[in-house]
Structure 1
Amino acid sequence: MTIAQLKAFLAALDLGSFTAAAVELDSAQASVSELVARLERELGVKLFARGGRRLTPTDAALALRAHAEQAVSAIDNGLETVRALHALEGGTCTFGVLRNAAYYDLSDLVERFHAQYPKVKVRLVGLNSALVAESIAAGEIEAGLVVLPVEESGLRITPLFRDEVLYASAHRRPADGPVTTSEVSSAKLVLYDAYAAWNDPTRRQLLARARLEGLTIEPAIEVEHVETAISLVATGAADTIVSRTIAESPSFPPGVAVTPFADPIYDTIALVQRDGAYLSPATRRLAQLAQQMLMARVGDHAGRSPA
């Protein structure tokens, strides 16, 4: 039993003749008649009593009608849904963004996307990169932007953009020279992303450097948001680390100085999706828009570069 057979049957049932059904379906009368005949042979029953000017439906035809309508409707609705998705006239996209997305001019990502595709529902998740990667690997989010490294396996990772990590302090000056890992190990630190802790990609790089030198890093204060950490640094309470993009933002306190590391550290921002997974057209377009907006930051400073 095929959808073509069911459509021919329903058209003949509604219009009362194979000729009228053929016109409705933009087909030949013989083709419609043969489709219905094949359906009758497969079912082992007569659906119409032939003869006279109109087809007369049998009890079997009347019993089949509701099921045939449901089957054809389900297929038509499915096709319409797929077409709507590809035309970005419906559906839902899920996308993970950097916790500090606003510093990368991504704060209006949803606004710009929604202005172009108002019928698409958007679920934008802003978490630490380690958690975004975990959610993508688990299939909870289709794709996202993360800072590398992330540990999740089974991910397709496309590096986009390197952003230098700097040491931020209210009392240390750049004239004091580049910051060493030993100096960081002995400093009083406030570190953000408290929930992710040492799973945070930037923190992991710093910790790996320290371990290579037989050192440890223990923050005196841990907070969730970078803005809170920077505020504490501005009071002289502790030092922290920030990306160059954050350090060059208009809201960065003028009394806080930033200094490069002696052995430079970089946040590498990447587009991530599950390996082998199909991205919905809406999520694919949102990812393209996010990438375009992010890459507009590249090239305006020596501390930022394509990955």
Structure 2
Amino acid sequence: MTLAQLRAFLAAMDSGSFTAAAMEIDSTQASVSELIARLERELGLPLFTRGGRRLVPTAAARELRPHALRAVSAIGDGMGALAALRSLDGGICTFGVLRNAAYYDLSDLVETFHLRHPHVRVRLVGLNSALVAESVATGEIEAGLVVLPISATGLSVTPLFRDEVVFASSTRAARGGAIGIEEIAAAKLVLYDAYAGWNDPTRRQLLDRAQARGLTLEPAIEVEHVETALGLVAAGAADTIVSRTIAESDAFPEDIRTFPLSEPLYDTVALVQREGVVISPATQRLAELAQQMLLERVTEHGGRTRLI
């Protein structure tokens, strides 16, 4: 059973003749007659009683009609949805962003995209990078921005820029200078992204560095959001690490001092998508916009370096 057969059948049933049906579906009378004859042979039942000036549908035709309508309608809806994706007049895009996206001025990403493509629905997921990467790999979301390193199995990774990681404290002496991993390991730390824990890319780098020196790295406090951690640091309760972008934001507490690491540490921000999978035009456009906005705002100084 083919879509062409079902369309011919519906046109013949509605119009009452093969000639009228042929005009409706832009075909010939002979083609419509042959399509329906093949359908009848496949079904093993007659669909029309031929005679007189008008085709008379059989009981089998009346039974088939609602199913044929649903099938043809479903195909039409599917083609329409794909056409909408191609033209960005509809559809939905799914995209993952850094949990701290606001510090990278990505808060207006959806607003900018929606102004340009108002008929596209957007699902923007803000998670820790490890979880964004996992969601992209499993197909839950199509693409996303992450901080490296992440598990890149099955992913296509495009590094965009590096952002220096610094030590943040309100109790360390202002002239303390660069800080080594030994002092960080000995400090009372508050670390954020508690749910991701040591799967968090920045934490993983710090832990690997400590373990390479035979040191133990254990936070005294774990919280989910960087703002909560900075509040504790400002109160003198603990110290933490943050990216240079966060440290230079307007929201960063004035009484917190930052110190570079003696062995520089960087967050590498990258764009990821599933390897070998073509993402929807809408998500592709959103990813391009996110990349463009990020790179326009990244300077070649202040601890941030473009990679493309």
Which residue of the partner structure matches residue 4 of structure 1?
Answer: 4
Please give the per-residue CA displacement for 1:119-153, whole angstroms capped at 9, x wherever unaligned.
Answer: 33332221211222233333333322111111363
Which residue of the partner structure matches residue 90 of structure 1?
Answer: 90
| Equivalent-residue separation in structure 1 for 2:17 and 2:135 (angstroms) | 56
Counterpart of 1:62, as a letter, is: R
Change (3 A) 1:32 1:256: same
Matched, 1:143 2:137: no
Counterpart of 2:255, as a letter, is: G
Matches within 5 A, 1:23-42: 23-42=23-42
Deviation at 1:286, TM superposition (A): 2.2
Counterpart of 1:296, as a letter, is: E
Gaps of 5+ in 1: none
The two structures, once aligned, show a CA RMSD in angstroms of 2.2
Matches within 5 A, 1:149-168: 149-151=149-151, 153-168=153-168
Deviation at 1:174, TM superposition (A): 6.4
Deviation at 1:101, TM superposition (A): 0.6
Give the secondary structure class of the aligned counterpart of 1:122.
strand
Counterpart of 2:268, as a letter, is: T
Which residue of the partner structure matches residue 252 of structure 2?
Answer: 252
Deviation at 1:272, TM superposition (A): 1.9
Give the secondary structure class of the aligned counterpart of 1:296.
helix
Matched, 1:185 2:181: no
| Equivalent-residue separation in structure 2 for 1:20 and 1:170 (angstroms) | 84
Which residue of the partner structure matches residue 119 of structure 2?
Answer: 119
Q: In the alignment, is the contact (CA less than 8 A) between 1:173 and 1:259 conserved in 2?
A: no
| Equivalent-residue separation in structure 1 for 2:187 and 2:47 (angstroms) | 87
| Equivalent-residue separation in structure 2 for 1:74 and 1:292 (angstroms) | 37
Between 1:285-294 and 1:134-143, the stretch displaced more is: 134-143
Between 1:22-31 and 1:197-206, the stretch displaced more is: 22-31
Change (3 A) 1:49 1:298: same
Counterpart of 2:182, as a letter, is: S
| Equivalent-residue separation in structure 1 for 2:278 and 2:174 (angstroms) | 47
| Equivalent-residue separation in structure 1 for 2:234 and 2:118 (angstroms) | 42
Counterpart of 2:109, as a letter, is: L
Q: In the alignment, is the contact (CA less than 8 A) between 1:48 and 1:61 conserved in 2?
A: yes
Deviation at 1:22, TM superposition (A): 1.7
Q: In the alignment, is the contact (CA less than 8 A) between 2:300 and 2:306 conserved in 1?
A: no
Give the secondary structure class of the aligned counterpart of 1:97.
strand
Which residue of the partner structure matches residue 271 of structure 1?
Answer: 271
Matched, 1:239 2:222: no
Change (3 A) 1:38 1:169: same
| Equivalent-residue separation in structure 2 for 1:62 and 1:188 (angstroms) | 78
Deviation at 1:300, TM superposition (A): 4.6
Q: In the alignment, is the contact (CA less than 8 A) between 1:173 and 1:258 conserved in 2?
A: no
Q: In the alignment, is the contact (CA less than 8 A) between 1:84 and 1:91 conserved in 2?
A: yes
Percent sequence identity is 69
Gaps of 5+ in 2: none
